[in-house]
Amino acid sequence: MLTGPFKEIITMQGLPQRGPISDDQLHVIKNGAIVVERDKIREIGLFSDLIKRHKLEIEIDQPAVCLPGLIDAHTHICFAGNRCGDYTKRVSGKSYQQIASEGGGIMDSVRKTRAASQIDLEKGIISRAHELVRRGVTTCEVKSGYGLTIKDELKMLQAINDAASKVPLKLISTCLAAHIKPPEFIDEKSYLDHILVELLPKISSKRVDIFVEEGAFSKESAKHYLLEAKKMGFSLIVHADQFSRQGALLACEVTALSADHLEVSSEEDADALAKADVIPIVLPGASLGLGMQFAPARMLLDKNLAVVIASDWNPGSAPMGDLLCQAAIIGAYEKLSVAETFAAITERAAKALQVPDRGVLDVGMSADLAIFPCSDYREILYAQGMMKPFLVVIDGKLAR
């Protein structure tokens, strides 16, 4: 399948693995095309060369820029209900912690998700997944964490797995049973031990996450839990440094794959993350939803870290779920180059999800394409999220 011609193909090839990226380091093919065989890229190059050897299957008859399919490396799109009441209280001046103490917050979503059937949860994921595709996302991580019982966490993880077979994009599940301590347990250690014994041996996901924060889990309890999960073969993720510092340093101690949030992280935390080679995932959607500062993405990049941007789409703190819009906004505030922003939602995000065949347009890589209606790649972020792709290809098939 020959697709083209494109005014520009932004391949994301050959970029630094960590640290800053300048726009002149982007590999741009002008007047290019892509040949897809089954679900992989077979050739990529000039349209004038490829058209001589291949039949044109998808003709792009308007100015277009092709990027790798976008990758959202941190979401909570398996949930029931919404928390518009929480939002109303936040914009009236109440803090996240105050709302939680009044019965809102994560436990509000837990009650609604426990009451929902597995089929209803699956339908919700499918609906949100199709919306993600319309926004150019072709790979998406999805967490559990609104069940907080063995039965309900398994229900969520099964809903994610079942939805994955019914949507065009790739869904990657993460077990976040350690979201907060449910009221059925007196102390956090007993609950975490319960998860280790009764839940983790039963799940197919190989990714485990925990929320390290006041009102969630302490660094000490989380460390034991994560190290035990690591012995069981799980990759480790930490919700870290959203409101207070402790999680990023823990992520370093246990050699986590990523530390996510980092809104209050310091230069000391960034130095430790760089030394331990932990991937920082910043979540501007949560900052927008909570009305708080963005994670220090510029500082993290300058500390030689591979910054990833994800949407954190969830019913409470980050209900927008628009990865490209959020990436454009944090890029403007944190002074990220276009190349740094694109890398954070493609090539570097692929590393955070351990999907090495995605995030770059090159021979042998998955044929995931997000095709935008413009002539210059800089127009995409310039539109601040308002420009959406008019074509999306996932694993070589038209998904939009």
Q: Which residues of the chain have pLDDT under 50?
A: none
3-class DSSP string for 196-226: HHHHHHHCCCCEEEEEECCCCECHHHHHHHH
Instruction: Answer yes or no: do 90 and 172 share one domain.
Output: yes
Strand, coil or helix: what is 256?
Answer: coil
Instruction: Answer yes or no: do 124 and 113 share one domain.
Output: yes
Strand, coil or helix: what is 80?
Answer: coil
Instruction: Answer yes or no: do 46 and 87 share one domain.
Output: no
CATH assignment at residue 83: 3.20.20.140
Instruction: Answer yes or no: do 79 and 177 share one domain.
Output: yes
- pLDDT number for residue 104: 85
- pLDDT number for residue 5: 97
Instruction: Answer yes or no: do 281 and 133 share one domain.
Output: yes
Domain that holds residue 59: 2-69+360-398
Burial class of 347 by CB neighbour count within 10 A (0 to 12, 13 to 18, 19+): buried
Buried b (16+ CB within 10 A) or exposed e, 284-321: bbbbbbbebebbbbbbbbebbbbbbbbbbbbbbbbbbb
User: CA torsion sign, 330 to 331 to 334 to 340?
Assistant: positive
Instruction: Answer yes or no: do 255 and 192 share one domain.
Output: yes
Distance CA 294, CA 298 (A): 10
Instruction: Answer yes or no: do 25 and 171 share one domain.
Output: no
CATH assignment at residue 43: 2.30.40.10
Give the number of other Cβ atoms within 10 Å of residue 150's Cβ. Answer: 15
What is the radius of gyration, based on Cα positions, of the chain?
21
Domain edge (last residue) among 352, 373, 389 = 352
- pLDDT number for residue 28: 98
Instruction: Answer yes or no: do 75 and 182 share one domain.
Output: yes
Instruction: Answer yes or no: do 165 and 21 share one domain.
Output: no
Distance CA 254, CA 257 (A): 9
Q: What is the pLDDT of residues 212-259, one digit of tens each?
A: 999 899 999 999 999 999 999 999 999 999 999 999 999 999 999 999
Residue 311 · residue 320 · CB < 8 Å: yes
Instruction: Answer yes or no: do 386 and 281 share one domain.
Output: no
Integer CA distances (angstroms), 254 to 141, 203, 231, 267, 271, in order: 21, 21, 11, 19, 16
Long-range contacts of 275-278 (CB under 8 A, 24+ apart): 276/251, 276/252, 278/248, 278/251, 278/252
Instruction: Answer yes or no: do 62 and 90 share one domain.
Output: no
- pLDDT number for residue 101: 82
Give the number of other Cβ atoms within 10 Å of residue 240's Cβ. Answer: 34
- The closest alpha carbon to 141, from 160, 158, 127, belongs to 160
Distance CA 60, CA 342 (A): 22
* Structure tokens belonging to residue 197: 């014994």
Residue 327 · residue 353 · CB < 8 Å: no
Residue 39 · residue 396 · CB < 8 Å: yes
- The closest alpha carbon to 385, from 312, 321, 335, belongs to 321
Distance CA 2, CA 40 (A): 12
Instruction: Answer yes or no: do 35 and 84 share one domain.
Output: no
- pLDDT number for residue 212: 98
162 forms beta bridges with: none
Domain total of the chain: 2
